[in-house]
Structure 1
Amino acid sequence: MAKNFSEEDIKQLKNNLRKACEYSWRTNGYKMTSIASLTKEVGISTGSFYRLYETKEELFFEVFTMIENRLKEEWNKIIESNQGIDGFKEALKWLFREYTKYPRMYDFNNPDYILFLNKLSKENIKYLKENNENFFSDALDNSGLSLKISKEKAYRVFSTLLFTATMEKDFGYDKYEVFEFLLDNSINKIFNIN
């Protein structure tokens, strides 16, 4: 693949680039993450980057998928250790805290993220959308809960609740407490609770 790089070098460089990219997203957001800053961080030239990846978006897609998979793994660990409504709530609260810690990385409505999406292929956009919806569907199935409302409506309700994590304006009240209040007051309308 890349001249002068062994297969092991390629694996290591890609891994280092993914880590640097994720860190940059957390601190700077998508738009401010540049090839120049990533290659400087990893210690390679821009030319070397383009021997590893055809485009910046290829790396970004890889990193985004990696982050999604890590979130799913953690979610599933929480659900496995505490099934039912309590486990689902605990997992959702964990996800909210994760989104709150890194709002630049998880605000999927900001112009930076939309710019990133617009540069992806239709296949990659479709994959991300389906992967997100499948995750929610799998999360419901793994929790053992049954819905009172349609799966689509439940997905939108939980997405809306999680969106509040990315709001950067002064909330004027404890954001976690507001989220928990909304979650606690909507959960009985979403799930059949025995």
Structure 2
Amino acid sequence: MTKNFTEGDSTLLKQKLCEICAQSWKTKGYKLTSIASLTYEVGISTESFYRLYKTKEELFLEVLSMMQNQLKEQWNSIVQTNSGIEGFKIAMKWLFEEYVKHPTLYNFNNPDYHLFLNKLPKDEIESLRKNDKNFFDEVLERSNLNLRIPKEKAYGILSTLLYSAAMKNDLVYNKCDIFNFLLESSIYQIFTISSSLANKNANKEPWCQLA
């Protein structure tokens, strides 16, 4: 006989499934993260899973929302501790590291991620794109910086910088070095800042923590 879940049971089980799914997605990818493995880790049956989520993709969408909220919280923490354009740069470098460390979750151009997207209806895909844009709008507002170029152009430039995390590792130059160079080269053309501060920051030692 199938156990009836209370509202509290459902909330707790969903939380556990999301946490385990996020870890599996980061290490194995979407395709190799099976419902059977997730339910085994949580200690519930497959039948119970489908009482919580209609599809595997519904769970993954919830995980994406959870991860995005965590990224926002960490970003906000960084810019609150480090104000101005330096805080924005530190936050960008941290986000780039996250993309590099977890390509199966953040590399939107890999075949595994496309397999996930192909399972989604068009309105869900459009919702993901809007959420990505809204994330930029929110972090920009939190950073309290003034743009010197149109917002859409700034979004395109910064997104392109972050997507460089998907570059192969067998390049002549470390992709972290490339990202840092491009960020330092473009940041003062994106945001309004005094020329004296820009010159001061341009002389800083290059940042790179990734191999």
TM-score normalised according to structure 2 size: 0.85
Q: Could you list the per-position Cα deviations for residues 5-55 of structure 1 after superposition, in whole angstroms to 9, with x for gaps in the alignment?
A: 222221221111111110111101112111112112222211111111111
Structure whose alpha-carbon radius of gyration is higher: 2
Corresponding residue of 2:51: 51
Match of 2:23 in 1: 23
Query: SS of the counterpart of 1:180?
Result: helix
Q: Which runs of 5+ in 1 are unaligned?
A: none
Q: Distance in 2 between matches of 1:104 and 1:134?
A: 22
Specify the alignment match of 2:173 in structure 1. 173
Q: CA deviation at 1:82?
A: 1.6
What pairs with 1:119-134 in structure 2 (closer than 5 Å)? 119-134=119-134
Per-residue CA deviation, residues 47-102 of structure 1 (Å, 9 max, x unaligned), is: 11111111111111100100001101111111112221101101000101111111
C-alpha distance in 1 between matches for 2:185 and 2:97 = 19
Unmatched runs of 5 consecutive residues or more in structure 2: 195-211
Q: Provide the secondary structure at the position in 2 that maps to 1:54.
A: coil
Structural RMSD (CA): 1.6
Which protein has greater RCO, CA pairs closer than 8 Å, 6+ apart?
A: 1
Kindly state the Cα deviation for residue 3 of structure 1 after the two structures are TM-superposed.
4.6
- In structure 1, C-alpha distance between the alignment counterparts of 2:54 and 2:3, rounded to whole Å: 14
Which moved further from structure 2: 64-73 or 102-111? 102-111
Tell me which amino acid in the other structure corresponds to 2:110: N
Letter in 1 for 2:182: L
Aligned residue in 1 for 2:77: 77
Equivalent runs, 1:1-194 vs 2, <5 Å: 3-194=3-194
Which residue identity lines up with residue 191 of structure 1 in the other structure?
F
Task: Number of aligned residue pairs: give it.
Answer: 193
Asked whether the equivalents of residues 75 and 91 of structure 2 are also in contact (C-alpha less than 8 Å), the reply is yes
Quote the Cα distance in structure 2 between the aligned partners of 1:46 and 1:73.
33
**Offset at residue 156 of structure 1 (A):** 1.1
CA contact (8 A) 1:104 1:166 kept: no
Amino acid at match of 2:183: L
